Amino acid sequence: MADYSQSPLDLLLANQQKGYVGVHIEQGVPILDRDLNLLHDLVSATVRAVITRYIGNGAPAGADGFAIQAQPAGQNSQDFRVLAAATGPGTALVGGIEVSIPAPTTYKSQAGLPPLSTPTSAQPDPRVDVVYLDVSLSEVDGTVDTDLANSQDVGVQTSVRLKPGWVVRVAEGVPVPAPPPGHVFYPLAQLARRRGVDTVDATMITDLRQRRLTVSDLEKRLSLMEKTLLLPAFATPPLPQFVPKSGAINQPITLSGSNFNVGPLTVAFGSVTAKLVGSPSANQIVARVPGGLTPAGTAVPVKVTVTNAGGSVVSDDTFTVQPAPAFADPGGQFSPANGTPGTQVTINGFNLNVGTPQVQFAAVTATLVGTPTNTQAVVQVPAGLVPGGSTSADVKITVTTSAGTAVSDDNFHAELNIPAPAFSSSPQFTPKSGVGGQTITLTGTNFNFAPVTVKFDTATATIVGSPSATQIAAQVPTGMTPSGTPKIVHLSVTTAGGTVTSTDTFTVNG
């Protein structure tokens, strides 16, 4: 224990209240311990105050210390870790006093501290706790450091040493209290403790420390300050931060503020990045509401975040995303992109299962296959999409739910289900023989789906007139019997529905 004529701390506080900043010793008078102690304490207190005002509190670059981290599962009941640096001891500057943590420790391992408590039903959910560092100077005397006993000369303790000390404390559900004389408090982290949960996990912890606190890092800090000056900002009342305040997927929203044109810019609704419309100006951005924010098919309130080269800003106002249906981006709105009646088509988008969905191809209702999900619906292509005289048609697909209607950007190519041609059983053609240039008549079904081709083996014949559904008139190709020897061939008919080959044979006589 130290023997003082007056408590150095009490003396320091009293002199600081009087505005004193130093001590001068007079000659020819007794030297008092309290004058010498006050001289030291005033100088130290002034240096610490200057450091605190002009440098601040926090963890220096390269020796990042006192980070708060969750304990591993099974060890995190009413406890958390206090980290040292990644390699070696960690340090922090608090109130001008540098303290060191040699190795990681835990809250529970600190002696004499009250145990953490589980938030009760009478407290907010979550209860906001603040983890803070309590730094003070303690005296070390000869009972701890034997060198202070001066055993090599006077054999009596003549002074004590001051040593920085620290304790990590927690203010549960209340602000960090005012420190008592001789102590400095510094917030390390915030804990969002859930009601009835006795564990502390990583999702609850928010780091509150100032970091990179060294003069060598001044350039980086100045760069950070420069970025801060370029930080985007939303408009302030009476101007709205964005209009409208609610909307569906792909709806353009106009954001108002400042520094919106500083470097590359992104806009996010909640956690989903939005597509920009045109180029942002300094005071305005137009962005489309992104998909994926309403997986439950109900309206969802989100904040809007704008990020540029200076940093990010989050809106005070809330935007409500409506669960109206929407297609995916053009080019991938459905698959396949073409088909005949009965073909199964998968529609891709968002909010496709709200209420009782209905899908139409043009104005024709399609049959749903299975139960739609939020992002997909499977339907069968309906009949009646291709007008008479055509074999195909491009149509839009419409999805209607209880929350609204969406029309595809992409076109679906509807095709006829064209039947294959077929020859009659008998006769398949008349006559059964002839010469080049002679007209014969083929008999069958489905002969009129263009384009129509008739062949005598591999030689293409000239079609006379327009084929009907049951007949085609064609001329026997010339030059099939160069040697004058009759040639026996099969006939084939090809239409949009396919190809059929006769079982009967035709004799080419010349």
pLDDT-derived band at 262 (thresholds 50, 70, 90) equals confident
Q: What is the mean pLDDT of the chain?
A: 92
First-to-final CA distance of the chain: 135
Integer Cα distance of 356 and 373 in angstroms: 12
Report pLDDT for 12.
86
Q: What residue type is 349 in one-letter code?
A: G
From the list 250, 173, 195, 197, the residue with the least C-alpha distance to 78 is: 197
Q: Does 505 have pLDDT greater than 90?
A: yes
Tokens of 312: 């990010």
pLDDT-derived band at 225 (thresholds 50, 70, 90) equals low
Integer Cα distance of 382 and 415 in angstroms: 11
Report pLDDT for 222.
53
CA-CA distances (angstroms) from residue 149 to 7, 137, 140, 141? Answer: 21, 21, 11, 8
Q: Cβ(299)–Cβ(320) under 8 Å? A: yes
pLDDT-derived band at 224 (thresholds 50, 70, 90) equals low
pLDDT tens-digit series, residues 133-157: 999 999 989 899 899 889 999 999 8
pLDDT tens-digit series, residues 81-120: 999 998 889 999 999 899 999 999 999 999 999 999 999 9
CATH class of 326-415: mainly beta
Determine the average pLDDT of the residues in 414-423: 92
**Better pLDDT: 60 or 451:** 451
Q: What residue type is 432 in one-letter code?
A: K
Tokens of 263: 């470097």
Report pLDDT for 229.
67
Topology annotation, domain 422-508: Immunoglobulin-like (2.60.40)
Bridge-based pairing of strands 453-456 and 459-460 is antiparallel
Length of the chain (residues):
510
Tell me yes or no: is domain 233-315 CATH 1.10.10.60: no
Determine the average pLDDT of the residues in 73-86: 94
The domain locations on the chain are 8-54, 68-218, 233-315, 326-415, 422-508
pLDDT-derived band at 58 (thresholds 50, 70, 90) equals confident
pLDDT-derived band at 301 (thresholds 50, 70, 90) equals very high
pLDDT-derived band at 196 (thresholds 50, 70, 90) equals very high
Integer Cα distance of 97 and 136 in angstroms: 8
- Do 326-415 and 422-508 show the same overall fold? yes
pLDDT-derived band at 185 (thresholds 50, 70, 90) equals very high
Integer Cα distance of 415 and 287 in angstroms: 38
Report pLDDT for 390.
84
pLDDT-derived band at 388 (thresholds 50, 70, 90) equals confident
Q: Does 1 have pLDDT greater than 90?
A: no
Question: Does the CA dihedral 34-38-41-43 come out positive or negative?
Answer: negative
Query: Residue holding tokens 């420190």?
Result: 179
Determine the average pLDDT of the residues in 63-80: 93
**Better pLDDT: 386 or 391:** 386
Q: Does 421 have pLDDT greater than 80?
A: yes
From the list 293, 250, 410, the residue with the least C-alpha distance to 345 is: 410
pLDDT-derived band at 303 (thresholds 50, 70, 90) equals very high
SS3 labels along 321-356: ECCCCEECCCCCCEECCEECCCCEEEEEEECCCCCC
pLDDT tens-digit series, residues 329-381: 999 999 999 999 999 999 999 999 999 999 999 999 999 999 999 999 999 99
Q: Does 71 have pLDDT greater than 90?
A: yes
pLDDT tens-digit series, residues 447-484: 998 899 999 999 999 999 999 999 999 999 999 998 88
Report pLDDT for 430.
97
H or E stretch at 225: helix 218-229
Bridge-based pairing of strands 412-415 and 338-339 is parallel
